[in-house]
Amino acid sequence: MQIGYMRISKGEQTTAHEARCVSESSCRKNLSRCDEWSQGDRPQFQAMLDFARPGDTIVVWRLDRLGRSLKHLIETVMGLQARGINFRSLTEHVDMSTPGGKFTFHLFGALAEMERDVIR
């Protein structure tokens, strides 16, 4: 099963664009969350992790939707892989079920962290 996960940082933002992209990728279950990453309270994120089973794929619009930092992103994806759960990011065309996807994941993860730091 493909599970879509969407996240926005501020209440005035919307997940509409993410939802459209994720739904076009045939996700059967979608979870979304408006949260401040620094607060650490992410019930929908945890619900997504708890719901996913071996053979499932977590789908996000962009890499930075899944992790607070490069370290957190890598830990999360490696934890998913250890449980037999695949990961896909639509914008960066990352599919962790392929060697090229694994390489691209690490490359774009670093770029996403830099972009977030520049914005701050």
Residue 36's pLDDT is 47
| CA dist., res. 75 & res. 94, Å (int) | 16
| CA dist., res. 68 & res. 72, Å (int) | 6
Alpha helices per DSSP H over 58-98: 70-82
Which has the closest alpha carbon to 1: 37, 52, 36, 48? 52
DSSP line for 3-68: EEEEEESSTT--SHHHHHHHHHTT-SEEEEEE--GGG---HHHHHHHHH--TT-EEEESSGGGT-S
Residue 31's pLDDT is 54
Indicate which residues carry an active-site annotation: 9
Mind listing the pLDDT tens digit of every residue in the chain (120 residues)? Answer: 888 887 766 655 666 656 666 666 666 665 555 554 455 667 778 888 898 999 999 988 888 888 777 788 888 998 999 999 999 998 888 899 999 998 888 887 788 778 878 888
| CA dist., res. 77 & res. 36, Å (int) | 20
